[in-house]
Structure formats: C-alpha cells, structure tokens
Amino acid sequence: MKRLLLVIALCCAMVSCAPEDANTLLTKKAASEYLVPVHPGSAERPYWNGFAKKFIYAPSFDFATVEGADKYLYSVTTKSGQSWSFTAKTPNEPLSAVWNSIPAGTDVVLTVQAMNSHGEAIGNIYERKFFRDYPFCPPYHAPERSYREAALLGMLYVHTMPQIQHWKQSVEPDMSYPHHTYPCKIIGAIIQVETLLAKEFPQYRDDALAIAKNAAQFLIDHARKPDEPLAYFPPTYYKDLEASKNSWNKGKTMAMEAASAGEAYLDLYDATGDEKYLTLAKNIANTYLKLQNEDGSWHIKYDFATGEPVNDSKAMLHPLLNYFLRLEKNYGQSQYAEARLRGEKWMAEHILADFDMTGQFEDVNVMGLQPYENLTNCTAAPYASYLINRGLKDGEIETAYDLVRFSEDQFVYWDCPVNEMGFKKDCTPCVFEQYKYQMPVDNSACNVSNAMLSIYQTTGDELMLAKAKAIIDNITVVQCSNTGKIPTTWRIRLNYKPTFWVNCTYDSVCILLRMEALCSNGKENR
C-alpha cells in the first residue's frame, strides 16, 4: 500500500515538475506499445478499421491474398516524398517495422504490392491513405487549479444558470436552454448535478434539492403510465428543437435513455431518503426486464406510445448494464442480475466479437450505416469501465485494454498540427466523439480517462495513469477561469462558440472528483 500511495503521489504531481527521465520512460513505453496493432483482424475475426482515418497504433489492413504471391512489398510514402518499405509473407502485416520512423502528424499513403518468387509484381496494388497521428509524449499542461476546485466551479456554473434556477419555481423546463429538448439525458443530468452540489455545498442544499425535485417531477409527469408498454419511461425527445424535430425521432424513444432518468432518481433517493424515487428507479428497471429480447438484447429505439421496436437495430447496453449493476450493488436489488448477465452475453457474442463499437446518439440516425462506419469511444471505453467495475472475469483485462487502446487509437489526439494561421485547431490532449462528429468533446475525454484510471487501479499500469492524467488536466485548462464553465467542445476557431451540455459537465465534474480522490488518498470515487 505504501508503494501504491507513493506512485500515486509522484504521478499526481504537476506534470511540468515531473523528472525528465520519468517522462522519457513513459514516452518510450508508449512508443513500444504503439508497435502492436489494436485488436487486429484475422481469418477468425473481422477487421474493424475499414473507415478509420487515423492511427496511433501500427495498423494492419484487410487486404486479400493474391494467388501466386511469394511475398508482399509494403511502401509508406508522405506528401514530401519520404518513404519506408519492407516485405512480408502476407498482405495483412502490421506496419510495426516502420511505424516509429514515420513522422508524427503526417498524412501518408500505404501501398501493398504482391510479388512472385522471381521478384516480379503481380496482381493489383492495394492502397490506403491515413493520418499517422501523434503519440503520447509528455509533459503536457499542468492543471490550472486543483481537481476539486475545478469540479466545484463546474457545478456552480450549472447551478447558477438562469435556466437551471428556473426549476426552483417550475416543473417545466425553460426552453431557452435548447438541450432541455432531451429530457432523460439533460434533465436527468441536472438532477445529478444538483444532488451532488447539495452534498458538496450545504449552504445551497435547499435550493439544489428544490431544483432536483422539480426537474424529477417533470420526468415523472411526462413518463408513460404504469399500464403502458413503456411504463415509467420518461421521453427521450421533447418539443420541436434540435434533433427532437426530426421526423425519425418524433414519437420515438431511445431505449437506453430511460436508464439516465433512473440513475438520477437513485441520486435523488440517496440525497433525500424519499422512497418514491427508489420505487421509480426500480419501476424503470422492471420495464426493461419486460422489453429484453430472447437473445439478451434490447432494441435501440421504440415507439414511445406502443412500445413496438422501430427497427431491427440493437442497442449498445453499457448504460443499462451499469444501471442494473448499481441497483444490485448499492440497493440489494438482485432481481436484475439474470437480465444483466444475459445482456453481457449478448454484448460478448455480438459487439465484442465483431468489435463494432458503433455510435448510438439521440441526434444521429443509425439507419443505413455500414458496419464500422460510425465507430465511437462512447461505446468502447464505457464498456471497459463496466467490466472492471463489476469485477473482471478470465481474459477480460485483455478485452478492457483492447477497448481503451481502440479508443485512444481512433479518438484521442495528443497533439495536432498548427493551421495556416499559426495555431492549433483543437485544445489537445482531447478526445473526439465519433466518426460522424469529428469534434473534441469533454464527455469523450471523461469516457476514455475514466477507463484508463480503472485499468490503472486494477493493474498498476502507470502509463495508463499518466495518459488519463494528461487528459483530465486539460479539463482544467479549457475551463473558463472566471465562470467555472467547462465547454463541451474544445475547438479553437475564429468566431466559434463552444457548445455546452449539462450532462457532459456532470461527467467532467465526476472525473475531476475521482482524480482528486485518487491523488489525495488512493481511493476511487463512486
């Protein structure tokens, strides 16, 4: 234990003050790990990277063998004419042999040419373009303020917003904050922010709980009735703003969204002791039991009135499995264990087996997507956290590592080039959300750093801790120093106004408090 606390203390020191050799060792360890491809495809499992545009880990690709080929010539070329080459027996070799020679931050073209035993080129040339991304290379920004201070400031910013204060006198949202159009996600997050604030700021407890209770009452008032198929589910969409006005969303609900409301009810029960909120949370969970398919899955979207599935697409289950697990662990509700285990089995046999970490967002239509077309860290990293939180089984630490390294490889940007105006377009280190929304988002930063911290606390992997810390530290850098506002999007652009989602701020507050607890005493926040 003493050694663990010493490691934590050293790693949680200001990055700029870390010994040079410590950063060098971390950089070398990262460079070594980047030579191993992430969850590479094979004859037994599909390749997931057909739509990938950038790589930190040396990739391999799904190029077919050529009849009569004795070997394959690999060539990697930059726009400036630099090139590297090697030969291999198959067309699917990772680029490890040349990976660390390719300059970071470079667009490259890979060609693979089959050669016969006489050294003659045969067959078509395979070609793939991609961005050779920047590796992890500390030091990065030191925190602008303590993690706890950053978290408290972030909560207070939300609490003092006029649209949030409005909830003290009303059980209907002030729609001048347009994200209220997503009730489960946003209004659920408001409840969670306010119940946490009530705990951290006793002087604001009465106001915070008044806001939380009225926000909860809105969800209760607009939920489906007890005798309906989606009993107790609050709506995913409300009014005609943003994605709620899209025809494919009207009258529909995203299956996993009700779990967000359930989590908020549990937080409110914890804060007040009022049994009605625990009962509501269990009622939502009971409806989920009725909706589970024979194979252990749930559909992604239902008709909000009839409860009928809208299409054949299945939901990514980490929000619901976490919800069930919380009910089991914290409230002794063991009746959800069987459904949770069946859901895990479906995830293992379909999502993990295919490694198709497709994004499922309330504002992005999933219909018509090809497999792997819209991958996201928002499926992968949270599922790694779930596996660790519920207790790892045989082989699952490797799965967790795969999910986190995939998230880093495809969505983390440790650095970015300067643009034609002489500055970087993104506040790095940052994490992009999904292929269909190439934007650095604080929720994504939280997803990935949270999973990295979980791996560190399970394995003692100091590189995972260092990576998580670099990302979390940057939350304090992008945070507005005089208001406490944590912007949701971290893009630098003339006349660009960062977006602001309350649910994302709640996630940032939680990861900041987790990091503060880890650094102060080695214990993890909930």
Q: pLDDT (tens digit, 9 = 90+) per residue, 119-169?
A: 999 999 999 999 999 999 999 999 999 999 999 999 999 999 999 999 999
Residues 6+ apart with CB under 8 A from 187: 173, 180, 215, 218, 219, 234, 261, 264
Contact between residue 471 and residue 431 where contact means Cβ atoms under 8 Å apart: yes
**Per-residue pLDDT, 46:** 95
Residue 5 has pLDDT above 80, yes or no: no
Share of the chain above pLDDT 90, in %: 89
Burial of 129 (0-12, 13-18, 19+ CB in 10 A): exposed
C-alpha span between 339 and 297 (Å, rounded): 9
Q: How far is CA 511 from CA 324, 329, 344, 348, 526, in A?
A: 21, 21, 25, 27, 10
Q: What is the mean pLDDT of residues 178-191?
A: 98
pLDDT-based confidence at 522, cuts 50/70/90? low
Give the start-to-end residue ranges of the domains of the chain: 57-132, 149-339
Let me know the angle formed at the C-alpha of 525 by 158 and 33, rounded to the nearest 5 degrees. 105
| Cβ atoms of 336 and 322 closer than 8 Å | no
Q: How far is Cα 281 from Cα 272, in angstroms, rounded to an integer? A: 14
Structure tokens at 356: 């198709």
DSSP single-letter state for residue 243: G
The class level of CATH for 149-339 reads mainly alpha
Q: What pLDDT is stored for residue 32 in this prediction?
A: 98
At position 237, the amino acid (one-letter code) is Y
Residue 497: the pLDDT is: 85
Q: Tell me, what's the pLDDT at 15?
A: 43
The mean per-residue pLDDT over the stretch 448-476 comes to 98
Per the prediction, the chain carries an average pLDDT of 94
3-state class (DSSP) for residue 358: strand
CATH architecture classification, 57-132: Sandwich (2.60)
E strand or H helix at 189: helix 188-200
Q: Calculate the dihedral angle through the C-alpha atoms of 445, 448, 452, 453, rounding to the nearest 10 degrees.
A: 50
Instruction: Compute the distance between CA of residue 233 and CA of residue 239 in angstroms, rounded to an integer.
Output: 17
Residue 182 has pLDDT above 50, yes or no: yes
What pLDDT shows up at residue 155? 98
* The predicted structure's pLDDT at residue 418: 87
Per-residue pLDDT reduced to its tens digit, 388-421 = 999 999 999 999 999 999 999 999 999 999 888 8
Contact 289, 336 (CB under 8 A): yes
3-state secondary structure 466-508: HHHHHHHHHHHHHCCCCCCCCCCECECCCCCCCCCCHHHHHHH
- Backbone region of residue 288 per phi and psi (left: phi > 0; alpha: psi in -120 to 50; beta: other values): alpha
Residue 21: per-residue pLDDT: 87
Model confidence band, residue 492 (pLDDT cutoffs 50, 70, 90):
confident
Dihedral sign, Cα of residue 271, residue 237, residue 478, residue 471: positive
Q: What's the rounded mean pLDDT across residues 80-101?
A: 97
> Can you give the pLDDT at residue 6?
42
Residue 380, pLDDT score:
98
If you search the block for the tokens 């930059």, which residue do you land on? Answer: 78
In sequence order, the 6+-apart residues with CB closer than 8 A to the CB of 9 are: 519
pLDDT band of residue 211 (cuts 50, 70, 90) is: very high
pLDDT digits over 335-385, tens only?
Answer: 999 999 999 999 999 999 999 999 999 887 777 789 999 999 999 999 999
